[in-house]
Amino acid sequence: MKQKLFLNSQNIGNYLVEIGLCQGLEKEDFSLELIPGETRNFNLIVNFSQGRKIIVKQERYQKVAVNNEFWYEIKVRDLIKEFTDLNFIQAFQSSVLYADEENSIIIFSYLEDYEDLEGFYRNSHDFSAEISLALGIAIANIHRQTFNHKQYRDFLLSNTTLPQREHPLNSLRSLEEIGPEVFGMFPVEGCKFLALYQRYDSLSAAIADLSNAYIPCCLSHNDLKLSNILLHKNWEQQLDSPIIRLIDWERSYWGDPAYDLGILLASYLKLWLNSLVVSRAINIEQSLKLATIPLEILQSAIATLLQTYLTTFPSIIEYRPDFLQRVVQFTGTALISEILSSIKYQKTFGNTGICMLQVAKSLVCRPEASLSTICGLSVAELTQPLNNKFNVQPALSI
């Protein structure tokens, strides 16, 4: 679909008046705030003089068309409205005020009482169990309530006007077949990454195996980064509203719950990896000690998240005894995807990226050992209460 209107600071006021979200006088007295860190979309916070705020998002124009990703978010909201058993998910979303399919624009209410969880963690270093508990319960309930429900799957996939989603690991699988001509298309930093990545034959083989193990079986957010999770500013108090919200559902689809959790755990590990002091003059042991967000303080949060998820959705281990190992492996592939994104948009692949790739390799190739490293508990320790309930044995090492 080709867009007819491209929003900017000059025309957004008139646009909001035309669609009824702004009075004539208001358009002369508002301020715009570009949401930082966003690469896929044009995102603005519109601040009106009387204190009202809205978020306006428009997909970036891609050569001759747009990807229509916003309409996957609308499709999920239609699913929730269609089936009353899924109405609980609405409490974790922000309200859509307007959707303009022709121009790939979607407008949301601004959740003034919330802040993004990534920023909260980075600034406060407060990894309280209450937050992990709320996250684990919310995500597990979404996965559990939609798990293997054919009518939900059929509804999500029924709109033939939306392009079919690619396999989430396709971009990584394509790295296996890169020839010399591709190096000329990558920035210098990208070539450094490719040269290092292609040394790891075991990594490519493990990703190929993981790709075949991807099992679409429930509603999946598919972009569960900490920056897409909002935390209530008064989360420590008794609230009528959920303390967490899940935003940016445009990548949602019928997917694999292990993939969803893997993206989330990778986002936690990025807090640690991006806080490392990395230099050729400092060995890795010293670098780890100098991290401003040590892995040790993340372990408890990750362990609580996984334990809560499994307690809320215990049957996932019965259906998939290797579930935790796959979560860890998808954590590794999510880190590699983050490296590729950094190369694409920031043109960087430095020492931190090299450390991230090494961690990703361990996660993908040695998931059981890596699980103990990132959360302080083994597969057996995390699943033992569930094994007693279902009388199943923990999965063997991969």
In this structure, the answer to whether residues 211 and 98 fall within a common structural domain is no
Same-domain check for residues 316 and 190: yes
CB-based contact 194:336 (threshold 8 Å):
no
The predicted pLDDT at position 4 comes to 74
Q: Is residue 302 part of a domain?
A: yes
Residue 21: Cβ within 10 Å count: 17
The CA angle 285-286-291, to the nearest 5 degrees, is 100
CATH number, domain at 100?
Answer: 3.30.200.20
Q: What pLDDT is recorded for position 395? A: 36
The pLDDT assigned to 213 comes to 96
pLDDT of residue 180: 63
**Measured between alpha carbons, how far is 244 from 235 in angstroms, rounded to an integer?**
8
What is the tens place of the pLDDT at every residue in 158-186? 865 666 788 888 888 777 766 665 565 56
* Whether residues 300 and 271 fall in one domain: yes
**How many residues does this entry show for the chain?**
398
The DSSP 8-state label assigned to residue 83 in this structure reads: -
Q: Map tokens 């009353």 to a residue.
A: 84
| Domain total of the chain | 2
Q: Are residues 88 and 40 in the same domain?
A: yes
CATH code, domain with 143: 3.90.1200.10
Which among 109, 140, 166 is the end of a domain? 109
Same domain, 146 and 177: yes
Instruction: Please answer whether residues 255 and 168 qualify as being in contact, where contact means their C-beta atoms are separated by less than 8 angstroms.
Output: yes
The DSSP code sequence of 128-144 is -HHHHHHHHHHHHHHHH
User: Whose CA is closest to 31, among 14, 16, 9?
Assistant: 9
Q: Which two tokens stand for residue 218?
A: 């429930």
Give yes or no: residues 231 and 84 share one domain: no
Q: What is the pLDDT of residue 295?
A: 94
Could you give the residue ranges of the DSSP H alpha helices within the chain? 12-18, 70-82, 117-124, 129-146, 150-156, 170-173, 180-183, 188-197, 201-213, 257-273, 284-289, 295-312, 315-319, 323-346, 351-365, 367-375, 379-390
- Given a cut of 50, the residues of the chain with pLDDT beneath it are 1, 64, 390-398
- The radius of gyration computed from the CA coordinates of the chain, to the nearest angstrom, equals 22
| One domain for residues 171 and 58 | no
Host domain of residue 64: 12-109
